[in-house]
Amino acid sequence: MRLLILFGILTLLITIGCKKAAVIEEVDEKDWYAGGSQTFFDQSGGAFANTFVGLTPTQEQIHSVGDKFFEASFVSSPSPINPGLGPLFNAVSCVSCHPSDGRNSAPAEGDNLHNLLLRISVSGESVHGGPLAIPNFGLQFQPRAIFGLTSEGNVNVNYSYIQGNFDDGEAYELRQPTFSILNSYMSFPSDAMVSPRLSRPVFGLGLLEAIPDWALLANQDLFDSNGDGISGKANSVWNVKDQKMSIGRFGWKAGSPTLLQQVGFAFSEDIGITNFLFPLENSYGQSQSVNSEKELSDSLIYSVTFYLKTLGVPAKRNISDSEVIRGKQIFTEASCVKCHTPKQKTAVNVAFKSISNQTIYPYTDLLLHDMGGGLADNRTEYLADGSEWRTPPLWGIGLTEVVNGHSNFLHDGRARNLTEAILWHGGEAANAKIYFRKLNASDRAALIKFLKSL
């Protein structure tokens, strides 16, 4: 009898035990911990600005030095503080395009472009297969110059509007920007390829960088052998530091192989601060070219890179909300997940355990996809052709309005909300968009609510 009771209790315990485990797994499936161990339960305006936990005091110090220079305003040389600005530039600081470590809003109609930049090139390829610089303009258009010098010109933006309807008849409107270069200091070639780029949030980048190459390559489907209309291609770009070709990860077209190179390029092209990776002023070869020594020390470029590498990821919210669960289901059914891959794993890294062996939920495959003519910039960047873009991570996207006070999305900020962003999808994502347009209003709302939970 006693044995029977004991057996009964044991069975009960085991049943309870099993059930609990199942619940835990369910929560895990719901990817609450977007950034693995570096997830922050912060939905405030500072949600993109959380420093990794578990850093050593030295690492914290490097992070805070990087933070300081990320926020610092640079001024023209010589100056006792933050010298080196320009002579040509787009912005005076990192933070002016990444407020609160987030993204800028799109420029307003008629604005002289300060918060968005244009990458430019002519047809052909550089030595390493990258974009070919425009003589006298380079690879990026700088509409600003230090006082007394002439900038490369002005950029004007105008919007046209496109009307459309969901299948249930509800109307929507999309806006399409046109960028024009005015008053250029020299004649700007009419056949130039111009790609507008708005800033992106800068958290979680250390984790994205830690996803192994093989994991990205494994998701490629270059010839669409599974016939789902979605291919996916890793970019292959010149790695300036290692002097070899590497897989591209960062930037709207995955044109940078490493965070370090992305930072170095931004300092050089955006602010006019030369560094060991990009030692020539962005005005090099132009009539107003100024030769200057390396303006950013190696330790500072590494500190700023480390700062970005160690910004944690905001946790998902409202994961048990029934509408969010429904939206997640739709996100899968509409095949959004085929490019916005929810889950990734970072490589083991014994030297830096904060980013080592983490399961993260960035909602990206970091691969290039054809997004159709509507979004095409018609500018090639290594393997990315004129209509291909890197799948941008979606983590934290639901906090954009809280952190940055706007909801402008896509490479040029044309989408004024998430619905418009989806409606701009084309090419490999055309079917997903058609699926979205067919949904009834409550399912569309559920999908948006799911995105806002990220």
CA 135 to chain centre: 29
Out of 57, 110, 124, 148, the residue judged to bind another protein by CB under 8 A: 148
Partnered with residue 165 across adjacent β-strands are 171
Q: How far is the CB of 229 from another protein (least distance, A)?
A: 35
The reply on whether position 79 binds another protein by CB under 8 A is yes
Q: Which one of the spans 145-153, 176-184, 235-243, 357-365 is the region binding another protein (CB under 8 A)?
A: 145-153
The reply on whether position 96 binds another protein by CB under 8 A is yes
Nearest residue (CB) to another protein, 165 versus 320: 320
Q: How far is the CB of 335 from another protein (least distance, A)?
A: 28
Q: How far apart are CA 310 and CA 39, in angstroms?
A: 11
Binding map of another protein across residues 175-204, x = CB under 8 A, - = no contact: ------------------------------
How many Cα atoms sit within 13 Å of 257 on the Cβ side? 17
b/e burial code for range 308-317 (CB count within 10 A of at least 16 → b): bbbbbbbbbe
Out of 64, 123, 158, 226, the residue judged to bind another protein by CB under 8 A: 64
Q: Is 75 exposed, middle or buried (0-12, 13-18, 19+ CB in 10 A)?
A: middle
Q: Which one of the spans 95-103, 206-214, 244-252, 365-373 is the region binding another protein (CB under 8 A)?
A: 95-103
Nearest residue (CB) to another protein, 73 versus 359: 73
The reply on whether position 20 binds another protein by CB under 8 A is no
Q: How far apart are CA 419 and CA 254, in angstroms?
A: 24
Q: How far apart are CA 160 and CA 125, in angstroms?
A: 32
Q: How far is the CB of 117 from another protein (least distance, A)?
A: 16
Out of 46, 130, 189, 372, the residue judged to bind another protein by CB under 8 A: 46
Nearest residue (CB) to another protein, 285 versus 405: 405
Nearest residue (CB) to another protein, 100 versus 283: 100
Partnered with residue 360 across adjacent β-strands are 344
Nearest residue (CB) to another protein, 99 versus 129: 99
Q: H-helix or E-strand containing 11?
A: helix 2-29
> How many residues make contact with another protein (CB under 8 A)?
31
Q: How far apart are CA 409 and CA 415, in angstroms?
A: 5
> How many residues does the structure list for the chain?
454
The reply on whether position 92 binds another protein by CB under 8 A is yes
Q: Which long-range contacts (CB under 8 A, 24 or more apart) does 397-402 make?
A: 397/451, 397/452, 397/454, 398/317, 398/451, 398/452, 398/453, 398/454, 399/43, 399/47, 399/48, 399/314, 400/102, 400/103, 400/201, 402/43, 402/44, 402/45, 402/47
Contacts (Cβ under 8 Å, ≥6 apart) of 311? 48, 49, 50, 51, 52, 101, 202, 203, 204, 205, 206
Q: H-helix or E-strand containing 262?
A: helix 259-266
Residues 205-244 that bind another protein (CB under 8 A): none
Q: Which one of the spans 11-19, 80-88, 277-285, 437-445 is the region binding another protein (CB under 8 A)?
A: 80-88
Q: Which one of the spans 141-149, 259-267, 362-370, 430-438 is the region binding another protein (CB under 8 A)?
A: 141-149
Provide the greatest CA pair distance for the chain: 99
Out of 32, 42, 176, 179, the residue judged to bind another protein by CB under 8 A: 42
Q: Which one of the spans 40-48, 200-208, 211-219, 420-428 is the region binding another protein (CB under 8 A)?
A: 40-48
Out of 51, 112, 356, 357, the residue judged to bind another protein by CB under 8 A: 112
Out of 146, 186, 383, 430, the residue judged to bind another protein by CB under 8 A: 146
The reply on whether position 147 binds another protein by CB under 8 A is yes
Please report the beta strands in 183-320, taking only residues with DSSP state E, as ranges in sequence order: 193-198, 235-239, 244-248, 313-314
Out of 34, 52, 70, 85, the residue judged to bind another protein by CB under 8 A: 85
**Which residue type occupies 165?**
N
The reply on whether position 75 binds another protein by CB under 8 A is yes
Residues 345-374 that bind another protein (CB under 8 A): none
Q: How far is the CB of 111 from another protein (least distance, A)?
A: 11
**Binding-site ranges for another protein (CB under 8 A):** 42-46, 64, 68, 73, 75-82, 85, 92, 96, 99-100, 112, 144, 146-148, 401-402, 404-406
